Amino acid sequence: MNVTHLECAACGTRHEAQRLQNLCVECGKPLLVRYDLGTAGRTLTKESLKGRRSDLWRYREVLPVAHDENVVSLGEGWTPLLRAARLGERLGLERLYIKDESQNPTQSFKARGMSAAVSMAKELGARKLAVPSAGNAAGALAAYAARAGLEAYIFMPRDTPRANIVECEQTGAHVTLLDGLITDCGSEVARRKEAEGWFDVSTLKEPYRVEGKKTLGYELAEQLDWTLPDWVIYPTGGGTGLVGMWKAFDEMEALGWIDSRRPRMVSVQAAGCAPIVRAFEEGKRFADEFPDAATTASGLRVPKAIGDFLILDALRASNGAAIAVTDAELLAAVEEIGALEGIFAAPEGGACLPALRVLLERGEVKPDERVVLFNTGAGVKYLESFGA
């Protein structure tokens, strides 16, 4: 293991890595894992990757688990980066790709983060894990906790897609449905966790989910022969994937794998819940809580993200954008992507297409630029969104 310490993303306070940690003890902001990348790079090389396992643990030297026996895996990661030729032709784009995260275990990108978080929770001695979730994170925690022999306590809004609820029940989790939003579920976890002995694995409220998600960035680079795309268009609720990729790009530059050029990062949100878009447009570093949040894309229904400043910093540093799309637009896009490319995307993944169209209309995306859309989950888990 090459972890040196944990560092507050806001104030820089150093924290011990070899104990369970949630937020910064000084300012209450997220902690990020720091590595000795010089040591990591002695064995983690572009050449060494060629013979490695085809999951996210291929990047073992820049992942936090010290002992192999604590790695909790279901084969997550190394998802396909698919050329979307027919959709690209319709849009006038020569190099359009879809990173299809629906092919992960539990059928969403949440498997990446929970593999890393549950592995570290196991290594550091946690026995009971708790999470508030709009759906897919709950399913991932339930599965990985079961795999690890740990208990999972899950709190979801009552109107969470039924497939997610059943998934958690069938993989042994303790499921509680609440009236309200994911923020209300988070408040319930916070209120009860000390008395119940739960370790909170909420988005960016522990340091390791982002480590699993950062492998999206490593994979993008490796799958594109170590040249990053011009644009990354990413559906954003809590934003861990976007934050993780941005972290991965810096690590890969330090390893000497890529240069200083970065993709222009685009955060896509639903018009009914767009705190990041609003903060971006208003020039703010922190996002106000979005009132009366509502969208059929349950993963985007996050009215307040604790990592808001990390998302907004990445957007601005990359000369990126933040775009809100309507539910009607994102659902129509799911059908269009499905008909042209054979991918039944989650509503969150569908949201990337109308956002791309906005960028094309503005003249920001050029026909020869390489663009990657992220489909973060499987549409089959959202049948209520499609009237089924």
- Whether the Cβ atoms of residue 300 and residue 269 lie closer than 8 Å to each other: yes
pLDDT for the residue numbered 36: 98
- Whether the Cβ atoms of residue 380 and residue 344 lie closer than 8 Å to each other: yes
301 in a structural domain? yes
- Whether the Cβ atoms of residue 10 and residue 21 lie closer than 8 Å to each other: no
279 in a structural domain? yes
Number of structural domains found in the chain: 1
180 in a structural domain? no
The pLDDT of residue 325 is above 70: yes
Helices 240-254 and 209-223 pack at an angle, to 10 degrees, of 60
Q: Where are the alpha helices (DSSP H) in 19-107?
A: 37-43, 85-91
Summarize pLDDT for 46-55 with one digit per residue, the tens: 999 999 999 9
Summarize pLDDT for 13-32 with one digit per residue, the tens: 999 999 999 999 999 999 99
201 in a structural domain? no
269 in a structural domain? yes
Please count the other Cβ atoms lying within 10 Å of the Cβ belonging to residue 232. Answer: 30
184 in a structural domain? no
Task: Output the pTM of the full model.
Answer: 0.96
Average pLDDT of the segment spanning 60-75: 97
pLDDT for the residue numbered 388: 59
140 in a structural domain? no
130 in a structural domain? no
- Give residue for tokens 């810096």: 250
Average pLDDT of the segment spanning 303-308: 95
Q: Which domain holds residue 332?
A: 81-108+210-386
Query: Which whole-number Å values give the CA distances from 375 to 95, 99, 102, in the listed order?
Result: 17, 6, 7
pLDDT interval class at 134 (50, 70, 90): confident
CATH code, 361? 3.40.50.1100
Tell me 345's DSSP state. Answer: B
Average pLDDT of the segment spanning 101-130: 98
Average pLDDT of the segment spanning 135-152: 97
* Mean of all residue pLDDT scores within the chain: 97
